[in-house]
Amino acid sequence: MSHQLSKLPSDASHIVISVGGNDALSHKGLLDDEADSVAEVLARLADIQRSFREAYKSMLDQVTALGIPTALCTIYNSRYPDLAEREIANVGLTIFNDVITQEAAIHGLPVIDLRTIFHSDDDYANAVEPSSKGGEKIALAIAHLIPASSTQDAG
């Protein structure tokens, strides 16, 4: 994230952050792991969430220090063809999305909940990436969040 912030244009009027999807994907293998108890699974999830929270808080500290209006995006749900896999993966995403929404509240930042704007299969290019239609929905959500006067001043 630091290297992306160094490339931020000096005249940036707003920052919209979408972070966490790749973090979640890096733990997808956990869904196939065996466990002796539900408590063991929850402990693994808690470790993943703790690590993500630390990294996310550090990133937010860097961004908010810039003093530029910032909004955060949740991670949109997956669209795996197998409904059982989809449901399990989407439950797993809650440990990441909880961090995002909690940190947004702590920092007083608005949230674009991408889970609420992707409604159909054609919002997705594949199981975990938006299609052009999904991308357009994200762009519209961002445009609705940022006041028109801000975009006119920046242009």
What pTM does this model have?
0.87
Question: CATH code at 69?
Answer: 3.40.50.1110
Q: What is the DSSP string of the chain?
A: -HHHHHTS-TT---EEEE--HHHHHTTGGGGG---S-HHHHHHHHHHHHHHHHHHHHHHHHHHHTTT--EEEE-PPPP--SSHHHHHHHHHHHHHHHHHHHHHHHHHT--EE-GGGT--SGGGBSSSSSB-HHHHHHHHHHHHHHS-HHHHHHH-
Note the pLDDT tens digit of each residue in 30-46.
Answer: 878 888 998 998 999 99
Is residue 4 in some structural domain?
A: no
Is residue 20 in some structural domain?
A: yes
Is residue 134 in some structural domain?
A: yes
Is residue 10 in some structural domain?
A: no
Domain of 43 in residue numbering reads as 15-148
- Predicted pLDDT of residue 57: 96
Of the candidate ranges 3-7, 26-30, 105-109, the one whose mean pLDDT is the lowest: 3-7
> What's the total number of domains in the chain?
1
Note the pLDDT tens digit of each residue in 119-132.
Answer: 899 999 999 999 99
Is residue 23 in some structural domain?
A: yes
